[in-house]
Amino acid sequence: MDKMTLTRMEFYGYHGVFEEERKLGQRFYVDLDMLIDLYPAGSTDDLTQSVNYAEVFYTVKEVVEKRSFQLIETLAENIASAVLDNYTKINEVTVRVIKPHPPFDIHFQGVTVEIRRPRR
């Protein structure tokens, strides 16, 4: 199976366990790996035979920026569901949600959650 990847999509969302995170918001990055048969599109140069990655971007944006979750695990699950529900050509999706600046009094680059969900 072929793969289409959207890397480091940047959004501003209101997710977190702490009230101030859900009130003030923060930056999130999302990566998607989508397993899809790219041969029909590649051999015909026909976008309708593929998945429009700009549309996928806006689907993810809708989930990240219009909803609020305590856990980035829940955010990842909702992104995976939205992608699989809206794009039937995608057979499996891997979602990475990166929270680059968690509100802790310790120093590290961030936290990442990664899930892989097949079409059922």
pLDDT tier, 110 (very low <50, low <70, confident <90, very high otherwise):
confident
| 106 pLDDT above the threshold of 80 | no
For the stretch 30-47, pLDDT in tens is 999 999 999 999 999 999
Q: Note the pTM of the prediction, 2 decimals.
A: 0.95
The conformational region for residue 45 under phi > 0 = left, psi -120 to 50 = alpha, else beta, is left
Domain boundaries, the chain: 2-118
Active site amino acids: 99
Taking the C-alpha atoms of residue 76 and residue 45, their distance in angstroms, rounded to an integer, is 31
* Architecture in CATH of 2-118: 2-Layer Sandwich (3.30)
Handedness of CA 83, 81, 86, 39 (dihedral sign): positive
Q: Report the mean per-residue pLDDT for the chain.
A: 95
